[in-house]
Amino acid sequence: MQRHWWLLLGLLALGCKRADTAAPLAVPDAGPSTSTLRAVGPRLLSNATSTPISITGERLTKAPSLRLGPPASLELPLTVLDDQHAFARVPASVELGLAPEVVIEATLPGGSGRAELRFINDTKFPDLVAMAGTNDERVLGVVSTTEDTLYLVDRSTKAVTRVSVGDGPSAVAALGPSSLVVSHLFSAELAIVDTAAAPPVVSRVPALANASGLAVDRDTVFLAEQARDTVSALDATAGFRERWRTPVAPNPRAMALTPAGLAVGSLQTGEVELLDPTSGRVLATTQPGPGTAIVGGTTARYQAFVMNGKAPRALIASTKLGRLFLSSIGPNIGPNPDKMEVSMNGGVASLALPSGSSKGSGLSWQRHLGFGAGVTEALALDDAAGLLYATDVSLGLVRVLDARRLAKSDADAAKALIQEVALAPPPRFPLVRPEEDFNANGRAGPSLHSGPRALVLSADRGTLFVLNRFTGTVAALDVKDAAKGRARVAGQWSVTDVLGQKTRRLGQVLYFADLGRTAMSCDACHLEGHGEGVLFEKTMPLRIYRSTTVRGSRETPPYFTPASTHSMGETAKVVGTRNRFQNPVMTPEEIEALTLYSSLIPTLPNPFVERTGALAESLTLPDGKLGSPRRGLALFEGKADCARCHPAPQYTLDQDHETRGQFIDVGTPRFMPLRPELQNTRFEGFGAPALVGAWDVFPMLTTGLAGLTVQGEAVVVESRFALRVAVERWAPAHGRADQLTPAERDDLLAFVLSL
């Protein structure tokens, strides 16, 4: 195993100290004629895409550029706002060699002061996140989001062709007989790839950036995007002209065409919305609540205490059964008399679809079939045979289910599982532990190294193709006799080499793995390294907490409320072992790998700044009002008194050793008032969260009560613009927004959205 003990020891050594004010970086007195650099942020950057950065200092009007030292060796032109604030944009594809990360020094030519930026070498870390087959059944298209690549795999010869697409490809779907359409996280375009041409031809058409989900219905492309949280319909016969665009719940990704409309899942609220595919009108919305049936797994006896849903990871509809199937970690269990904490019970839910003239009112959550272990991810359906296929990304399994039983009743659903097929990693793929540690003491097998991410079912319904994210392979399952429990792996072949950063890859396996078969993994709470609503948590004091993002968190220890771990290394050691219930205790090599992987999850580039990286003059807020980020910056640092707890560049006191670990009472709610008698409401103060990336956080506040609210025995969405609630409702103790005019509050919100 590669060694990164320098990283682990450094992260474990970070401490928690108290101080009253933030201490700036010490620099020599340069005099009034030269510029002084104080800070650059965000400090953690991926080289896979272009990232806007902010620069703070003194006399910045005298600074022509920001210099990045080797190996980047770049001069970045500055857009200067005033003497204290400037902005720039780091280009994509900074060459970093082979190391997982490189520290690069930033300076001002002719000025004083310095800052360190950590560049993540993502372009050398293939991440296979999506797969689709062409309608002519010749080719499988596999998306590598970090490489800006679509791999075309010939289904007959297994030959692989690499095709360059846009910045940050996120999803892929079949379009027409031989074309594939690719959406992107960072470039505002769709890539249309004609796979029948030799070589394949790529056409690009304008579309929304920050696209996270994609679905195609004949000549209509549905696109989900997470900057403005919308779904749009594009006409493929008219140059992909937009027919409609509809606001939806935060972070839409999974979508499925159903007989009743377009179903859309929200990663951060757990809701499913049903849209009219011709107009975009919202027809219905649903989420699990108290009494939602849970069949199987450790949470089955707590269905009376369900408070809301968790992220729908995949959706697929059965026309024959009139059902929508959904994969997730299960309904969210709230406070209960047994103090049963954490709601993970990965499985598949059955939702009833409206029929006839009900116009969406019949959308309802029937039941969740929990497997008691693992995290259910991708879905595929053989509607004619009534077979549902589901991958388990944390155990490396494909489960074969009887969809008719799952849709019929709770008693039938308990008998719906037909077979589990383990996807063994390739023979020479490294393991996170010795081979004898697997399939022992109730643990998972070595198949957890595979990470099955996506499924494609052949037209004859005899072959199921599985994309294995961690091993970089595609497996073919013979499912002709799946109804009899005779599905089997018929072959597996490589798409690309994924071991250029071996330790980091094993850390990715560990982040997603459920070795102890407890149903808990890092990804179960922090989906793809981000947040996922609220959780009746696994910490003390035991109460409902917001599931925080891991993105950029390397820069902002300590962790948990109150602090219980003080570095990414300590967190990997404590949480990684506890997720397994000590079965077994993590080895030093595992801690090293998990620390490396989780510490290299960056915050997404802000989509609301200008192309130069500078603050916009005007910005439309999610609720339709207008604000000025530039005026908002002055308010943030002055009249609103935000910078006292949220200083640049990460906008938290926890960004620097001298000021981290301050747990304070800022007047925000101390606990979510859902069955408070069953929670431990002891209060020891809250830490100030980092505001970098706040544009993509829902809900907000430690309790989640900015965005969510309690309604009876359930937790529901109160406002989709959580930031406004966080800023306005609890002033003056939480900042001084009470002293601002309505227009000034809009300016302040526009600035925070731009961080």
Residue 3 has pLDDT above 50, yes or no: no
> How would you list the strands of the sheet with 387-392, edge to edge?
376-382, 387-392, 397-402, 417-422
- Residue 358: which pLDDT band, with cuts at 50, 70 and 90? low
- pLDDT tens digits, residue range 592-625? 999 999 999 999 999 999 999 999 999 999 999 9
HSE at residue 699, side-chain half, CA atoms within 13 A, is 26
- Map tokens 């339709």 to a residue: 624
Q: How far apart, in whole angstroms, are the C-alpha atoms of residue 215 and residue 200?
A: 22
Residue ranges and CATH numbers for the domains of the chain are: 619-753 (1.10.760)
**Cβ neighbours of residue 157 closer than 8 Å, sequence gap 6 or more:** none
Q: How many CB atoms lie within 10 A of CB 719?
A: 18
Q: How far apart, in whole angstroms, are the C-alpha atoms of residue 300 and residue 740?
A: 49
In Å, how far are 158, 349, 484, 609 from 612, measured between CA atoms? 43, 45, 59, 8
Q: How far apart, in whole angstroms, are the C-alpha atoms of residue 184 and residue 128?
A: 14
- Higher-pLDDT residue of 420 and 541 is 420
> Among 25-34, 77-86, 478-487, 553-562, whose mean pLDDT is lowest?
25-34
- pLDDT tens digits, residue range 239-259? 999 999 999 999 999 999 999
> Among 21-35, 288-302, 553-567, 700-714, whose mean pLDDT is lowest?
21-35
pLDDT score of 26: 39
Q: How far apart, in whole angstroms, are the C-alpha atoms of residue 253 and residue 171?
A: 10
Q: How far apart, in whole angstroms, are the C-alpha atoms of residue 221 and residue 324?
A: 20
pLDDT score of 737: 87
Nearest-Å Rg of the Cα atoms of the chain is 25
SS3 category, 512: helix
Task: Name the nearest CA neighbour of 742 among 651, 627, 646.
Answer: 627
- Map tokens 């079965």 to a residue: 583
102 strand-pairing partners: 119
pLDDT score of 576: 95
Task: Name the nearest CA neighbour of 212 among 234, 186, 235.
Answer: 186
Spatial contact of 479 and 488, defined as CB atoms under 8 Å apart: no
Q: How far apart, in whole angstroms, are the C-alpha atoms of residue 41 and residue 66?
A: 12
- pLDDT tens digits, residue range 319-357? 999 999 999 999 999 999 999 887 799 999 999 999 865
Spatial contact of 357 and 306, defined as CB atoms under 8 Å apart: no
pLDDT score of 705: 96
Q: How many CB atoms lie within 10 A of CB 440?
A: 10
Give 571-591 as a 3 state SS string: HHHHHHHHHCCCCCCCCHHHH
SS3 category, 685: coil
- pLDDT tens digits, residue range 144-203? 999 999 999 999 999 999 999 999 999 999 999 999 999 999 999 999 999 999 999 999
Residues constituting the chain = 755
Burial tier of 160 (Cβ tally within 10 Å: 0-12, 13-18, 19+): middle
In Å, how far are 146, 169, 191, 449, 453 from 164, measured between CA atoms? 12, 10, 9, 27, 21
**Cβ neighbours of residue 65 closer than 8 Å, sequence gap 6 or more:** 75, 76, 77, 78, 88, 108, 109
**Cβ neighbours of residue 158 closer than 8 Å, sequence gap 6 or more:** 493
Q: How far apart, in whole angstroms, are the C-alpha atoms of residue 515 and residue 548?
A: 23
Residue 618's identity, in one-letter code, is S
pLDDT score of 20: 31
- Take residue 199 and report the two structure tokens written for it: 């070589």
How large is the average pLDDT for residues 200-211? 97
- Take residue 140 and report the two structure tokens written for it: 């499988």
For residue 629, what is the DSSP state? Answer: H
- Residue 562: which pLDDT band, with cuts at 50, 70 and 90? confident
In Å, how far are 265, 300, 307, 345, 412 from 367, measured between CA atoms? 17, 11, 15, 13, 11
Spatial contact of 685 and 664, defined as CB atoms under 8 Å apart: yes
Residue 576's identity, in one-letter code, is G
pLDDT score of 343: 79
pLDDT score of 4: 45
Number of DSSP helices (H) and strands (E) in the chain, helices first: 10, 46
- Residue 10: which pLDDT band, with cuts at 50, 70 and 90? very low
Burial tier of 42 (Cβ tally within 10 Å: 0-12, 13-18, 19+): buried
- Over the chain, what is the mean pLDDT? 93
Q: How many CB atoms lie within 10 A of CB 426?
A: 14
- Take residue 359 and report the two structure tokens written for it: 């116009």
How large is the average pLDDT for residues 530-556? 91
- Residue 359: which pLDDT band, with cuts at 50, 70 and 90? low
pLDDT score of 23: 36
pLDDT over 70, % of the chain? 95
